[in-house]
Amino acid sequence: MLAAPLFTDTRLEEIHRRLLAHYDRPPVREVWDPLKQFIYSMLSSRTKTEISLEVIRRLEERFGSWENLRDASIPEIEDAIRAVTFPEPKAINLKTALEEITRRCGSLSLEFLKGYRTDKIRLWLERFDGVGVKTSAAVVNFSTLRRRAMCVDSHHLRVTQRLGFVGRSADARETESRLMAMAPVKWPPEMLDEHHSLIKIHGQQLCTKNHPRCVACPLLDLCPAGAGAWEKGVMGAGQAKSTKQGH
């Protein structure tokens, strides 16, 4: 029989509670089917949320169906996604993935993944070029699959490192493993999604890349990086800016 843990790590719950009190509840996500979420997440890396949302909207408008997008030429797809970063490799990876899904599954749909275990879904998704741990986490957690996973984007990675939960060299996979080990087992997928959104908002508004405003941060007493900045007298103070819910 496994021994019970000596103590329960409640830091993630506490952080969640404080960020909710500070920022209020994030906008409710419009939950998409797994294929749309997959396409969005492939396109959205290193791209602002507003731009990614506009690109997926225009893709739907321009092609009318994901089958038409799949069958379009690479230059045409590249032209349609020109607003995202790295449109050339993303166009190639996206078309290849959509063709491969069709070939393997007989149709262009990811609904069959509902019958798979979460770890198997993620392995299945990560075989495609351009699909890493962040995209597979987004598909399983944000879409109608609604499984337990923590999507770690660049904001989440930075905040988690500053809070000292992982080292400075940790990647998204290691960070997600650490956070999932800390997340209460009672948190359903929707709660993990909300936690991701809160940390992302925090990374956009206060714990920014170049000028974290630790003096205004509700997590300051929990944060080694903030305490270090306090000692050096380099804590920033400034105005928060608005943000938008992404996928």
Binding site for ligand SF4 (CB under 6 A): 159, 162-163, 206-207, 212-214, 217, 219-220, 223, 225-226
Q: Between the CA of residue 168 and those of 46, 145, 159, 198, 246, what are the distances in Å? A: 19, 32, 11, 21, 25
**Least distance in Å: CB of 176 to ligand SF4?**
18
Q: Which residue lies nearer to ligand SF4 by CB, 20 or 220?
A: 220
Which residues have CB under 8 Å from 219's CB, separation 6+?
15, 18, 19, 163, 202, 226
Which segments within the chain are labelled E, that is strand?
Answer: none
C-beta closer to ligand SF4: residue 178 or 213? 213
Shortest Cβ distance from residue 171 to ligand SF4 (Å)? 19
Work out how close the CB of 20 gets to ligand SF4 at its nearest, in angstroms, rounded to a whole number: 15
Residue 148 corresponds to which tokens in the numbers above? 């337990």
> Quick one: which of 38, 32, 84 has its CA closest to 58?
84
Which residues contact residue 206 at a Cβ distance below 8 angstroms, ignoring those fewer than 6 apart?
A: 212, 213, 214, 216, 217, 240
Look up residue 97 and give its two tokens: 């993935």
Closest residue to ligand SF4, Cβ-based?
Answer: 226
CB of 162 to ligand SF4, least distance (A): 4
CA end-to-end span of the chain, whole Å? 40
Compute the least distance from the CB of residue 222 to ligand SF4, in Å. 8
CA neighbor of 28 nearest in space, from 201, 197, 188: 197
Distance CA 113, CA 65 (A): 20
Total Cβ atoms within 10 A of residue 153: 20
Q: Which is nearer to ligand SF4, 106 or 233 (CB)?
A: 233
Residue (121 or 163) nearer to ligand SF4, CB: 163
| Residue among 31 and 240 whose Cβ is closer to ligand SF4 | 240
Nearer to ligand SF4 among residue 139 and residue 219 (C-beta): 219
- Residue 155 Cβ, how far from ligand SF4 at the closest point, in Å? 10
